Structures are given as C-alpha cells and as structure tokens.
C-alpha cells in the first residue's frame, strides 16, 4: 500500500473553519496563500529568516513558513486579513497607514501581525533583551522605542521604513492601552491569546 501523503484537515483562521486536504509537505504559509486564497501573509524567504509570513497562532506570533499546515489543525490562527473589524482598521493597521510605516508593503502584514503581538506581550509583562528590570513585580517596562526595536527585530524591512514603523507601533500601543481602559470587560482585543494576561496588564496600567 502506498504511504499516505495527504490528510483532510480543518484550519480555523480568523474565526472561520476551512476544511481542506493538504499534502503533508505543505506549510501553513502555502496553505494560506495557495489553497485558501489568503495571500496577505507574505513569503519573503520561506525559511524563517525575514518575518514576512508572521501570523498569530493561539495569540502568539509565529512564522507560518516554519509551521506545517497539518500541525496547525485545532489552533486559532489570525492573519492580517483577520485584524480589521469590517471597515474599521485595527489600531496597528491605522497607525501604519497614517505614519507611513511601510514602503513597498511586502513585509507589512508580518510587521503588523508582529506588532499586534508585541503590544500584547509587552502589556502582559513579558521582558525583552533590553528590559532593564525583569523581576515580575517590576511590571511592564515603558514601551520605549528601544523596546519596540528589540521586539520587532525579527521582521526585516528592506525598504527600511524602520523609523516610521517604530513610531506606528508606539502610537498603536497607546491607542490599544486607551481602548483597554474604556472597553467593557469580556471584549477581548483581536489577536490576544489570554484574557487573564490582558486583565493583569490593565491592572498594571
């Protein structure tokens, strides 16, 4: 009997179920782009070096080119197409648009997905390599330009729009923090994985 080389799976992407049969070699990135017509996630290097294919998996950022589609079944996947609410852009998208946080736009979906997660990670108190005080009781450090640069460094932008990207992430973080304070309990920002952490961050803020 010939070995099985494909499987029928269901991927949950942006809150919607997508049943499909995939070649076992198919990466999550190729499944999105070639099979599901979700071409917002970009292929810049196809081996985890550039960040253009970054998506959120269970609320955390991952490069979709290094995930196999078959292994992504049962997980909550958010792509750049899933961030806006109808015509209302996600604060990160709006800030990239307003502050020109891009040029050619090819790294942009990855930068934006990473930025969404960076803001969550920071609000949840996760330190980075440049965080001075990493004791849990110290709480999140200020989301300085240096913190943003460090946390965003897995996303290359060859057009080198880094300066305006950092400004956009900073502005979006402020907007998001403002929303957290005003939103009623239970409405979770898209892309956040753990409401407990969000609540902690709110308390800290």
Binding region for another protein (CB under 8 A) = 23, 25-26, 30, 33-34, 37-47, 49-50, 52, 79-81, 83-84, 89, 93-94, 96-98, 100, 102-109, 112, 145, 148-150, 152-166
CA atoms within 13 A on the CB side of 205: 22
Question: CB of residue 111 vs another protein: minimum separation in angstroms?
Answer: 9
Nearest by Cα to 148 from 126, 134, 160, 165: 165
Question: CB of residue 9 vs another protein: minimum separation in angstroms?
Answer: 15
How many CB atoms are closer than 10 A to CB 185? 8
Question: CB of residue 64 vs another protein: minimum separation in angstroms?
Answer: 13
Structure tokens at 14: 């942006």
User: Which residue is it, tokens 């502050």?
Assistant: 99
Nearer to another protein, 54 or 198 (CB): 54
Nearer to another protein, 134 or 159 (CB): 159
Nearer to another protein, 111 or 192 (CB): 111
**Count of residues for the chain?**
205
H/E element, 15? none
Nearer to another protein, 163 or 205 (CB): 163
CA atoms within 13 A on the CB side of 2: 3
Nearer to another protein, 95 or 198 (CB): 95
How many CB atoms are closer than 10 A to CB 122? 24
Question: CB of residue 45 vs another protein: minimum separation in angstroms?
Answer: 4
Instruction: Please report the sign of the dihedral spanned by the C-alpha atoms of residue 25, residue 26, residue 29, residue 34.
Output: positive
Helix, strand, coil fractions of the chain, as percent rounded to 5: 40, 15, 45
Question: CB of residue 176 vs another protein: minimum separation in angstroms?
Answer: 16
Question: CB of residue 21 vs another protein: minimum separation in angstroms?
Answer: 12
Nearer to another protein, 84 or 205 (CB): 84
């Amino acid at each position: 009997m010939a070995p099985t080389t494909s499987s029928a799976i269901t991927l949950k992407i942006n809150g919607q179920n997508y049943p499909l049969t995939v070649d076992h070699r198919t990466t999550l990135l190729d499944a999105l782009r070639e099979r599901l017509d979700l071409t917002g996630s970009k292929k810049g290097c196809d081996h985890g070096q550039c960040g253009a294919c970054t998506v959120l998996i269970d609320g955390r950022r991952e490069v979709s080119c290094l995930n196999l589609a078959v292994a992504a079944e049962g997980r909550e996947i958010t792509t750049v197409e899933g961030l806006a609410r109808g015509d209302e852009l996600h604060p990160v998208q709006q800030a990239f648009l307003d502050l020109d946080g891009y040029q050619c736009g090819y790294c942009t979906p990855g930068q934006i997905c990473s930025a969404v997660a960076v803001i969550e990670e920071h609000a949840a108190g996760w330190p980075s390599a440049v965080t001075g005080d990493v004791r849990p009781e110290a709480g999140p450090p200020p989301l300085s330009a240096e913190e943003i640069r460090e946390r965003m460094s897995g996303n290359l932008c060859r057009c080198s729009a880094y300066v305006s990207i950092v400004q956009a992430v900073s502005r979006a973080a402020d907007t998001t923090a403002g929303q957290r304070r005003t939103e009623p309990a239970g409405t979770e920002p898209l892309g956040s994985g753990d409401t407990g952490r969000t609540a902690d961050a709110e308390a800290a803020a």
